[in-house]
Amino acid sequence: MVSAPDGRVVVSTDLLIEGRHFRRDWSSGYDVGRKAAAQNLADVAAMGAVPTCLVIGLGMPADLPVDWLDALTDGFRDECAEVGASVAGGDVTGCDLVVLGVTALGDLGGSAPVTRSGARPGQVVAVAGRLGHAAAGLALLEAGRYGQAPVEEGSALGEAVAAHRRPRPPYRCGPEAARLGAGAMLDVSDGLLQDLGHVAKASGVRIELDPAAFTVGEPVAAAAKELGADPLDWVLTGGDDHALAATFPPDVALPPSWQVVGRVVAGEGVYVRGRSAVQGGWDHFR
């Protein structure tokens, strides 16, 4: 049984399929557990709630090594510990690949949920957490730079790869944004442009982003130099960092954890430098 002190529960669910969302030759069982938990816990935080528990469905091949499975459960446990949540139960079945179905529950603590439809003209757009790090790490892995090899301690490139393997969502910033009066909020799982496109559509507004306002982290810059890429592309379209993006009234004093990167105006769509953005990002059916 899971208690719901608020009397209401927010719910989010995700599927992770081996070869589609993770590779066992790139990520350990522990990495996969942390990542699977993080992306679901971040969805709960993005509604302004505090995560309380996960329920997990696992499909796995009969020859899956026991130590990989033990590491997976350790990953779930340790990521849940970041927010004081727990694994409440689940189910296991045989499968040709490793498949994870994860459902997260959260408590609103008496507040209204923050949805995607509350953005209004005049509000500012702000982000909390890292952007582009996981995409930079994925690009390095795809270029054959690391595989499952341990990353070099303190290396900027290694930090990018580690970000792909284990995201670090800014969990506390979700309830914080709700207390600050956020109009709309979501976690950045499929790329900032694509995800803000969902906010713009749900709210019936236009979102304008200032590329000069974004901070490009050292791991992103180092990976871009290594691969000859534009780091801003990863910042704007890279997924899997599970940063939070939200809109706020213009007179709200935002804490340092939030960085203003744009504004909400009348219209539709997402614009960068005054031009309609090709939203890119992750599309499950492309």
Query: Would the annotation count 90 as a binding residue?
Result: yes
Q: 99 near 16, Cβ under 8 Å?
A: yes
13 is in an annotated binding site: yes
Tokens in use for 45? 């935080």
- For residues 20 and 18, what is the distance between their CA atoms, to the nearest angstrom? 5
Please check if 181 is assigned to a binding site.
no
Question: Please, what is the end-to-end C-alpha distance for the chain in angstroms?
Answer: 39
Any known ligand binding at 91? yes
Q: 272 CB contacts (<8 Å, ≥6 apart)?
A: 193, 208, 209, 211, 236
Q: Is 215 annotated as a binding residue?
A: no
Residue 187 marked as a ligand binder: yes
Contacts of 189 (CB under 8 A, 6+ apart): 39, 42, 43, 195, 239, 240, 242, 282
Q: Which of 116, 108, 103 is nearest to 8 (CA)?
A: 108
Q: Rounded distance, CA 12 to CA 186, Å? A: 12
189 marked as binding residue: yes
- The answer to the question of whether 230 is labelled as a binding residue is no
Please tell me whether 240 is known to bind a ligand.
yes
Q: Which residues are CB-contacts of 274 (< 8 A; sequence separation ≥ 6)? A: 208
26 is in an annotated binding site: no
Q: Is 195 annotated as a binding residue?
A: no
Extract the annotated binding site for ATP: 90-91, 116, 189
Extract the annotated binding site for substrate: 21, 240, 282
Extract the annotated binding site: 12-14, 21, 43, 90-91, 116, 187, 189-190, 240, 282
Extract the annotated binding site for Mg(2+): 12-14, 43, 91, 187, 190
